Structure 1
Amino acid sequence: MNNNDVFKKLRVALQLRDDQIIEILNLVDFRIAKAELGAFFRAEDHPNYMECGDQVLRNFLNGLIIHLRGTKENPTNAADVIAKNAEALKQPRAEKPAGKPAAPRPKSNSGAKKGPSQNKKYDKAKKPAPIVENVKFNNGKNKKG
C-alpha cells in the first residue's frame, strides 16, 4: 500500500472534495494545485498519474488534525466536521445563479491609457489573514534555546 492508496482511502472515508483537501493543506501553509491533486487520485496506468510523496501526505495529515480537532484556542468536535463534509457532498455545487442573466460588459476605449488606480484588476490585493495563527510545529524535535 503506497501513499496514493492511503490518500485515496482517507479522502473517501472522510468524504472530502478536492477543494476541501486544498483548504486542509493551506492550514499548514502547503500550497498545491487542483490538477496536481487530481493526479494523485488517478489510476497507476494513467499517463498523468503522479506518485504522492511523503511530504504531501505528511502535510495533509498535519492539516487534517487542525481541520478536525481545531486549534488549542478554538477546539472543534471531529464528528461535527465530518457530518458537515457529508452534507456538503450531498448538496450540488452552486457555480452561478441560474435565474439572473449575466450583465453586459462595458466596452473599453482601446486608445485610453489605464493607470494603476483605474484598472483595479491589476492592483495589489491585500494579503488575507492567516487561517491558523500561532501554531508551532516542532514535529517531536527538542531544540535547545
Structure 2
Amino acid sequence: MKYKIKVNIVGGAIFLILSTILWLLIPSQIPLNSDAVITSRSFPKLIVALMFISSLFIFVADLIKLVKKLPVQEVEVNLNEEGRAVVVCILLIAYAFLLDKIGFMFSSILYCYSMLTFFKCKNWKYYMIVTIICVAVTYIFKNILLVQLP
C-alpha cells in the first residue's frame, strides 16, 4: 500500500500539537522556585514557543499553497517497507517498559538480542559482544562512576 503525504502540512500539524502539549506540561514538570523574571521555566518555554511559531509558519504556508492550487512537497510512503520501522519502534517502547521492570543490564541485553534477531543476524560473536558491552557499561556506571541505573 502506498500513500502520498503532504510533508509540511502533516509535520506542521504534528509539531503544533506536540508544542501545545509541551507548553501545557511545563508548569507541572518544572517547579517555580523564585519570582525572578528569568526562571527555570524560561528557556523551555522559549524553545517550545519557537517550535510552535515555526511549525505554525510551515503549516499555514503550505495551506495557502493548497488553496492557491500551487504544488506542495509530497512524499510517497510504502507501508510494506515502513513496517520494519514500526517494529523497531515497538521494540524500543518494549525496552523502555522493561527498563524499570528488570533493570538496565538485562533489558539492554534483551533489546540488543531482539534487534539482532530482527535483522536476522546469525553470527554468535555479535551476541557475545553485545552481552560483554552491556555488562561492562553496567559495571562502569554502577561501580566506577557511582551512577544509579534503573
TM-score range, shorter chain: under 0.3
- Name the larger-Rg structure: 2
Name the structure where strand makes up a greater proportion of residues: 2
